[in-house]
Amino acid sequence: MEFKTIEKLVTKYLEGETSLEEEAVLKAYFTKEQELPAEWVPFRQFFTYCDEARKETFPQKSIKATPSFKPWMLVAASIALVLTLQLSGVFETQPSPFEAQQAEMAFQQFQLQMKTVSSHLNKGAEKVAYLDYWNNTTQKLLK
Amino acid sequence: MQLTADNSFFNQIEEIRNKIFRITKRILVSQEEAEDATQEVIVKLWQMEESKRNGVKSLEAYSVTMAKNYSLDRLKSKQAQNLSLDERFNGSYSDTLNQKIEQRDALDWVGKLIDQLPEKERTIIQLREIEQYDFDEIASILNLPEGTVRVYLSRIRKKLRQQFLDIQNHGI
């Protein structure tokens, strides 16, 4: 590219009179040419920057509709379920201390009740033995 | 069908979204705010009635205009509350920038030079030099006469070149 042509284009460019095509010519020249006059070096930096900046993309994930359910969610859900059940004690085999105390008390009460019942039952049995004696005497009378 | 229409909108917007992001980032300067603004603009576009959206001559030009307006509004409300962006830049601009130039990549400070321009000027640079729109497109996006856009652009190009040369002459 002729130096004179570029010089003219630069003047036009600075006046805001260049077309996009002419600006592309300038860019090609400034980015390829190794030996640039010092006053044109800024153009090379500027055009290179613009090329880079044009490539910048929106950094977040695609907004395209994607399936909201993903396989890893299944794994996460099952882990969460197991943890919840574990914490809520569904899998617990050891009774808690409170439960053990309650059971102990219930057992002692039951034992006491059974002792009472059995002692009264024995009293009843003594009376039954007495009845037996009655039977003996009536049999004697009937003889 | 509703579904296919929506899909075509999302396919179209894929391309446009990056442009929206770049223009909002140029105006708002902050990466985070540009991401938010891009999302907002896309939601607005999506919520538009389909007939209205299809009636738009160029969805791209329409979206970029919307992105520009939205970012400028956001910038205004921010400036009303906080320090202005220009204040933030003017304070320590020459000192810190000169120091940074020594360490940083040249491309990095080109971006910084552009970002310290007033928002209207950096919008014009973005639309012309980076997005490479024709003058009539820029004129319609900015709602300015074409001649005015050219005058602005000429002024900004000269100003930027001068700043580049100043930095260069201070020795990097």
Going by C-beta distance under 8 Å and a sequence separation of 6 or more, which residues neighbour residue B91?
A: none
On the 0-12 / 13-18 / 19+ scale of CB atoms within 10 A, B168 is middle
Q: Where are the CATH 1.10.10.10 domain residues in chain B?
A: 84-172
Q: Summarize pLDDT for A17-27 with one digit per residue, the tens.
A: 999 999 999 99
Minimal Cα–Cα distance from A21 to chain B, Å?
10
Q: Are B14 and A62 in contact (CB under 8 A)?
A: yes
Residues B150, A50: C-beta atoms closer than 8 Å? no
pLDDT at B5 over 70: no
B92 — pLDDT class (breaks 50, 70, 90): very low
pLDDT at B74 over 50: yes
Q: Summarize pLDDT for A31-73 with one digit per residue, the tens.
A: 998 888 988 989 999 999 999 999 999 986 655 555 567 778 8
DSSP state letters, A10-39 = HHHHHTT---HHHHHHHHHHHHH-SS--GG
Q: Summarize pLDDT for B15-27 with one digit per residue, the tens.
A: 899 999 999 999 9
Tokens of residue B148, six digits: 């005015």
Q: Searching chain A, which residue's CA lies closest to the CA of residue B22?
A: A56
Q: Summarize pLDDT for B144-163 with one digit per residue, the tens.
A: 999 999 999 999 999 999 99
Looking at beta carbons, which residues of chain A come within 8 Å of B153?
A: 16
DSSP-derived letter for residue B127 is I
DSSP state letters, A103-140 = HHHHHHHHHHHHHHHHHHHHHHHHHHHHHHHHHHHHHH
**Residue A44 domain-assigned?**
yes
- Residue A122 domain boundaries: 111-143
Q: Once rounded to an integer, what is the mean pLDDT over residues B71-84?
A: 77
CATH of B1-82, one of 3.40.50.360, 1.10.1740.10, 1.20.210.10, 3.20.20.70: 1.10.1740.10
Please provide the average confidence, as pLDDT, over all residues in chain A. 84
pLDDT value, residue A50: 94
pLDDT value, residue B2: 47
Residues A64, B10: C-beta atoms closer than 8 Å? yes
In a 3-state reduction of DSSP, which class is residue A60?
coil
Q: Are B28 and B34 in contact (CB under 8 A)?
A: yes
Total structural domains within chain A: 2
Looking at beta carbons, which residues of chain B come within 8 Å of A16?
A: 149-154, 157
Top residue of A49, A60, A61, A66 to mutate, by most chain B CBs within 10 Å, is A49
Query: Distance of alpha carbon A22 from its chain centroid, rounded?
Result: 56
ipTM of the complex in this document: 0.79
pTM over 0.80: no
Q: Which long-range contacts (CB under 8 A, 24 or more apart) does B50-57 make?
A: B50/B5, B53/B9
Residues A20, B38: C-beta atoms closer than 8 Å? no
In this structure, the number of other CB atoms found within 10 A of the CB of residue B163 comes to 18
**Residue A131 domain-assigned?**
yes
Cα separation of B24 and B72, whole Å? 9
Percentage of residues in chain A having pLDDT higher than 90? 38
Cα separation of A132 and B6, whole Å? 102
Q: Summarize pLDDT for B121-140 with one digit per residue, the tens.
A: 999 999 999 999 999 999 99
In a 3-state reduction of DSSP, which class is residue B83?
coil
Tokens of residue A116, six digits: 């009472």
**Residue A24 domain-assigned?**
yes
Q: Architecture of B84-172 per CATH?
A: Orthogonal Bundle (1.10)
